[in-house]
């Protein structure tokens, strides 16, 4: 592989090919121009949510609960349409990469029996994990130990406790939240592992973030009561930005990690009754704002690179597949809760060394 020798490197960027099969390494050097090379079979870079075919782009999908069992309808950006029967009505929709193959796995959590069900794309086998928690729990998958594999986690809305089964760090519980907080999992500090976070709607509309290695991050007051959290990396800097979609004015509001969550911007996208479904639909490493409209079955996507897109996929009664927002939309608090004090530092679990 030819390239410059003995140079200082300003920037290294991984650019995914349109087929997802080739990765281009771009090296920008001090005063020596830009050197590029195609590298086959490298990891595809940042994982796009709901990417069922591993091409680095979020795929459009809905779940249809009638008749039982539920049917997943997938519109894969690389391999086309696929349907798959999995789950029953009432399941929480939680697709993520549970086997580390770079593809989202079809998965549901069933609060009535406490089991996390998944079909693993890498081995084409079924996975059944007993979480030993039922009732008022919200499933919040994320890569909490930074090993490249999604971990299963639950947040109990009545107590603010997290129950996490991490693929490398093991099982642990965390007291981080108060009654009826909305749980969020994202990598807000860019360390390669997701933080646990809660969006407190009823008290002060504040985001409380917790890193398993360094402890609590500075709280961020952002949003108003009724907002739906839509956090993700919208500017491509490797850190999740705090974001919300406001149903009553149809605006998306953002405050960026690169600015230390100071200031904000916003713009309208959506209509009354829409469901926010953010993801990286054009594969540029940045989240795109998007909504699914139950009334017409259309996905309205504002892509950061490839412009606007409208895709008809789904019908009335379907549930859009979006790991980032679906559970938050459907399990919103109804009455103000009573704040509880965060646990002392010595009681908080530390992430195990890998």
**DSSP secondary structure string, 176-223?**
---TTPEEEEE-SSSSSSPEEEEEETTTT-EEEEEETTTEEPPPEE--
Q: What angle do CA 168, 174, 176 make, to 5 degrees?
A: 130
The helix/strand count (H/E) of the chain reads as 1, 28
Q: Is the peptide bond before 138 cis (omega within 30 degrees of 0)?
A: no
Q: How many CA atoms lie within 13 A of 50 on its CB side?
A: 29
Token duo for residue 99? 């086997």
**Residue for token pair 């729990």:** 137
pLDDT attached to residue 296: 95
Distance CA 69, CA 273 (A): 26
Looking at residue 201, what is its pLDDT?
85
Predicted pLDDT of residue 38: 42
20 C-beta neighbours (distance < 10 Å), count = 19
- Find the length of the chain: 354
Please give the pLDDT value at position 314: 95
Q: What are the structure tokens assigned to 71, written together? A: 């049917």
Which residues have a Cβ under 8 Å from the Cβ of 185 and sit 6 or more positions away? 140, 141, 142, 144, 153, 194, 195, 196, 197
The two tokens of residue 247 are 């149903």
pLDDT of 353 reads 32
Listed as own residue / partner, the contacts of 152-161 with beta carbons closer than 8 Å and 24 or more positions apart are 152/98, 152/109, 152/116, 153/185, 153/196, 154/109, 155/181, 155/183, 155/198, 157/181, 157/331, 157/333, 160/198, 160/340
Residue corresponding to tokens 């693929």: 167
What are the residue ranges in the chain where pLDDT is below 50?
A: 1-11, 13-44, 333-354
The per-residue pLDDT for 329 is 59
What's the pTM value of the predicted model, to 2 decimals? 0.81
User: What 3-state DSSP class applies to 101?
Assistant: coil
Cα Rg of the chain, angstroms: 20
Handedness of CA 99, 102, 106, 112 (dihedral sign): positive
Between CA 231 and CA 234, with CA 233 as vertex, the angle to 5 degrees is 95
Query: Which of 59, 67, 94 shows the shortest CA–CA distance to 317?
Result: 67
Q: Which residues lie closer than 8 Å to 54 by C-beta, 6 or more apart?
A: 20, 44, 78, 101, 102, 103
Phi then psi dihedrals of residue 327, to 5 deg? -65, -35
């Amino acid at each position: 592989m030819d390239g410059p020798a003995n140079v200082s490197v300003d920037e290294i960027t991984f650019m995914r090919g349109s087929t997802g099969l080739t990765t281009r390494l771009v090296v920008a050097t001090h005063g020596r121009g830009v050197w590029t090379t195609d590298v086959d079979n490298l990891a595809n870079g940042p994982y796009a949510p709901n990417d069922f075919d591993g091409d680095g782009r979020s795929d459009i999908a809905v779940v249809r609960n009638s008749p039982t069992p539920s049917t997943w309808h997938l519109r894969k950006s690389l391999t086309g349409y696929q349907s798959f029967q999995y789950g029953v009505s009432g399941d929480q929709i939680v697709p993520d990469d549970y086997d580390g193959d770079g593809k989202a796995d079809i998965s549901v959590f069933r609060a009535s029996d406490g089991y996390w069900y998944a079909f693993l794309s890498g081995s084409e086998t079924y996975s059944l994990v007993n979480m030993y928690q039922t009732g008022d729990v919200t499933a919040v998958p994320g890569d909490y130990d930074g090993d490249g594999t999604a971990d299963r986690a639950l947040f109990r809305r009545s107590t603010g406790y997290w129950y996490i089964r991490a693929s490398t760090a093991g099982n642990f519980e965390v007291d981080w939240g108060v009654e009826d907080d909305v749980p969020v999992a994202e990598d807000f500090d860019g360390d390669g592992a997701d933080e646990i976070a809660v969006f407190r709607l009823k008290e002060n509309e504040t985001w409380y973030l917790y890193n398993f290695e360094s402890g609590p991050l500075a709280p961020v007051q952002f949003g108003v009561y009724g907002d739906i959290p839509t956090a993700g990396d919208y500017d491509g800097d490797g850190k999740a930005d705090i974001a919300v979609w406001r149903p009553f004015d149809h605006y998306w509001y953002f405050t960026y990690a690169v600015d230390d969550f100071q200031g904000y911007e916003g713009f309208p996208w959506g209509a009354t009754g829409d469901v926010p479904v953010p993801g990286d639909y054009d594969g540029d490493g940045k989240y795109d704002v998007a909504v699914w409209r139950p009334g017409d079955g259309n996905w309205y996507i504002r892509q950061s690179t490839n412009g606007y897109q409208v895709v008809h996929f789904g019908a009335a009664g379907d549930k859009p597949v979006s790991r980032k927002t679906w559970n938050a939309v459907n399990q919103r608090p109804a009455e103000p809760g009573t704040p509880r004090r965060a646990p002392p530092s010595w009681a908080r679990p530390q992430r195990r060394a890998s």
